[in-house]
Amino acid sequence: MQKIKYCPKCQKQYDINQEKCECGYEFVKLESHEDETVQSTNTKVIVDNVPLWIWAFLAFITESVLGWVFYGMFKNSYPERAKSAKKGAITFYIFVGVVVLITVLYLVLDAKGKIV
């Protein structure tokens, strides 16, 4: 497979070793050990000003359904926020499981007369 790169000005396709485009754009040569690497220049930084614990808390108190909705909405654009919402949803399931386990144990022990 031949490695290619595109000119950001005219969008023409060139061999990875090409140094200059026909339109005059000069490609930046990146150092690499084994394979050539093309660095993206259109990186967009997304700033998340909402603390992560808020998303975990919202996922927890909304009975985890919204936690999974938040996770699905944010997993590509805000991965840390999505991870926090998922943790809140899973925490809710664990909490409910512990409460159900304690309730069942109490009812079983009470039925046997072992709880005063």
Name residues whose C-beta falls within 8 Å of residue 78's C-beta, 6 or more positions apart in sequence: 46, 48
Query: Could you list the pLDDT tens digit for every one of the 116 residues in the chain?
Result: 577 888 888 888 888 888 888 888 888 766 655 565 666 677 676 777 778 888 777 777 776 677 788 888 888 888 888 888 888 888 888 988 999 999 999 888 888 877 76
Beta-bridged to residue 13, according to DSSP, are 6
Domain map of the chain by residue range?
1-30, 52-111
Give this prediction's pTM.
0.44
CA distance 2 to 52: 43
